[in-house]
Amino acid sequence: MTSPALSIHQAVKTYSNGFTALKGVSFSVQSGEFFGLLGPNGAGKTTLISAMAGLSRLTSGHISICGHDVQREPNITRKLLGVVPQELVFDPFFSVREALLFQSGYFGLHKNDEWIDEIITNLGLADKANTNTRNLSGGMKRRVMVALALVHRPPVIVLDEPTAGVDVELRQNLWQFITRLNKAGHTIILTTHYLEEAQSLCNRIAMLKHGEIVALDSTENLLHAETDKQLALTLDQKLPENLRQQIIKEDGYNYLLKLADYSQLATMLQSLQNQNINVRNLQILENDLENVFLRLTSDHMKDEK
């Protein structure tokens, strides 16, 4: 039987200050999947990715890439994994092409020019190939980070917020290229705050909250499991106490509320009218991954306020 592309078993990470960032996380990603790893800031995603890449050591538990343990076989797993980090980390003394050739050397790759040309072209870097990386815009530097992660053709690719702060054109180019790699057999693991991207691209999704898995299912099942209606509401004053138990998210006089059914909406509006609270804006939201995300991680988001 073929080993999973990624296997995480009871991953725990506790820092020296006593904070536990991962609390027994377990899941597997099969070869060829397009998998989403979602969660609010501070949920443990970056900690988990660092452990996957061998950049930090788990307190307990283990992680394997294509059947190889990250801690026991680091030289093998580094070749099997390509990580696009959130941070823009680059050598300011190289041109784009030189940086990719140098990165190829880390993996013992020679005569890698044809693949480098393909990466450069597909990521829209052709006219910047001989430009020093320090002279690139933030969006172009992000493209270089993606290219560096792909230079050794890893079977497992981790994209940590790859489209943060980049233009629409790059997003389109990147997803076309990554989707093609996925169809060719590469396993893609994506973290993103653009939930519409995760919904359209990912076959299966795990959601993290406070270092624990709160959802792990196919995207389709997660969407169909969401039966409550959601209501975006803007008032001219605070929501009264008798309705506050329905709050999912609150920002000033703007509210995201859950409704069991449409009849509850009529009751709510009547209650607001009876208390002389005016509704400035009202919108019933279509069910999507963002609604599921807010429902499952809402108390974490409130904690961050």
> Residue 246's domain is classified under what CATH number?
3.30.70
**Which residues lie closer than 8 Å to 26 by C-beta, 6 or more apart?**
8, 9, 10, 11, 61, 213
| Residue 118 shares a structural domain with residue 56 | yes
Name beta bridge partners: 132: 95
Among 175, 192, 223, the domain-final residue is 223
Beta bridge partners of residue 212, listed in sequence order = 209
Residues sharing a CB contact under 8 Å with residue 280, sequence separation 6 or more, in sequence order: 234, 235, 236, 253
Q: Measured between alpha carbons, how far is residue 175 from residues 66, 106, 178 in Å?
A: 24, 26, 5
Instruction: Identify the domain containing residue 65 by its residue range.
Output: 6-223
d(CA 230, CA 262): 10
Q: Is the Cβ–Cβ distance between 99 and 145 less than 8 Å?
A: no
Question: pLDDT of 50-92, one tens digit each?
Answer: 999 999 999 999 999 999 999 999 999 999 999 998 887 777 7
Query: Is there a single domain that holds both residue 265 and residue 163?
Result: no
Residue 152 carries which DSSP code?
Answer: T
Between 27-36, 104-113, 190-199, 293-302, the lowest mean confidence (pLDDT) is in 293-302
C-alpha 174/C-alpha 159 separation (Å) is 11
**Residue ranges of the alpha helices (H) in 2-54?**
45-52
In the chain, the number of structural domains is 2
Prediction pTM value: 0.80
Phi, psi of 212 (to 5 degrees): -130, 150
242 and 198: one domain? no
Query: CA 236 to CA 252: how far, in whole Å?
Result: 10
Kindly state whether residue 292 falls inside one of the protein's structural domains.
no
Contact yes or no for 86/46 (Cβ under 8 A): yes
Residue 304 reports pLDDT greater than 60: no
Residues 30 and 99 in one domain: yes
Rounded mean pLDDT, 94-111: 91
User: Residue 154 and residue 41: Cα distance in Å, rounded?
Assistant: 27
